[in-house]
Amino acid sequence: MAVTKQRKQEILQELIDLFKESKSVVATKFTGTSVNDINDLRGVMFGKNIRLKVAKKTLIHLAAKEAGYPEVPDSILEGPIALAFSLDDEIAAAKAIKDASKDFDTLGLMGGFMDGKVLSKADITQLADIPPYEVLIAQFLRAIKAPISGFHGVLHGTLRNFVGVLNAIKEAQPTAETAPAVEAVSEPEVTEAPAAPVEAEAPAPAEEPEVTEAPETEA
């Protein structure tokens, strides 16, 4: 059934709107993929806020040009092409196509569009290899915490070693029951310098014995 001109215009406008609203657009080949598989894949993508559209190359060129991509290499649109429009995340569509290609070998990244630039197959493959947003945030937080945790580890280890040394010193000290008596160390006695000898007083001269005169006798 031929597509009417009005329907083509509607598809074109839908593609233009998706180009402008999307964080990134990924082109994928789908040669040999059944209609049922495409519909299943479209449902999986929808759950990730990705819109998968199959359109004529002429319409894709016109929509890309209208959205700010005037030059689209033929290598990106080689063969039957579907476009995956990622509405929330720059890498979601590329990762979704890459993951789906593990189950459907008929799919394959061909290139893409992002921030006004046309991405090659190599570019879009690198984009698909970037870890998810949640993983990037976790890695960033670990990188921030690493120096702090390292400092905390060193400080904790130092304190632990210090406490261990104190415990070792405590255990090495003899208890009151087992410790030998230790004489108290007294301060050295300060002996006063001997006083200068005091000269002994000369003994008082002995009193001469009182001489009593003999009584005179009468002649």
Tens of pLDDT along 164-200? Answer: 555 655 555 555 444 444 444 444 454 454 544 544 4
**Amino acid residing at 74:** D
74 domain residue, yes or no: yes
Assess whether 146 and 116 both reside in one domain: no
Q: How confident is the model at residue 152 (pLDDT cuts 50, 70, 90)?
A: low
For residues 96 and 48, the answer to whether their CB atoms sit within 8 Å is yes
CA Rg, the chain, in Å?
Answer: 54
Collapsed DSSP state (helix, strand, coil) of residue 64? helix
Tens of pLDDT along 14-39? Answer: 999 999 999 999 999 998 899 999 99
65 domain residue, yes or no: yes
Residue of 21, 27, 25 whose CA lies nearest to 114? 25
Assess whether 50 and 154 both reside in one domain: no
194 domain residue, yes or no: no
Assess whether 70 and 45 both reside in one domain: yes
Element (H, E) at 25: strand 24-29
Whether residue 9 has pLDDT greater than 70? yes
Pairwise CA distance, residues 83 & 102, whole Å: 18
Burial class (CB in 10 A: 0-12, 13-18, 19+), 65: middle
Assess whether 137 and 126 both reside in one domain: no
Tens of pLDDT along 41-85? Answer: 999 999 999 999 999 999 999 999 999 998 899 889 988 999 999
Q: How confident is the model at residue 163 (pLDDT cuts 50, 70, 90)?
A: low
Domain final residue pick, 130, 156, 191:
130
DSSP string, 31-55: TT--HHHHHHHHHHHHHTTEEEEE-
Q: What six digits make up the tokens of 69?
A: 């991509």
Residue matched to tokens 């990924």: 26
Pairwise CA distance, residues 49 & 173, whole Å: 72
Assess whether 140 and 150 both reside in one domain: yes
89 domain residue, yes or no: yes
187 domain residue, yes or no: no
Residue of 107, 20, 19 whose CA lies nearest to 60? 19
170 domain residue, yes or no: no
Number of domains, the chain: 2
pTM, whole model, 2 decimals?
Answer: 0.62
Pairwise CA distance, residues 111 & 82, whole Å: 11
Assess whether 23 and 125 both reside in one domain: yes
What domain range includes position 45? 10-130
Q: Mean pLDDT across the stretch 190-215? A: 48
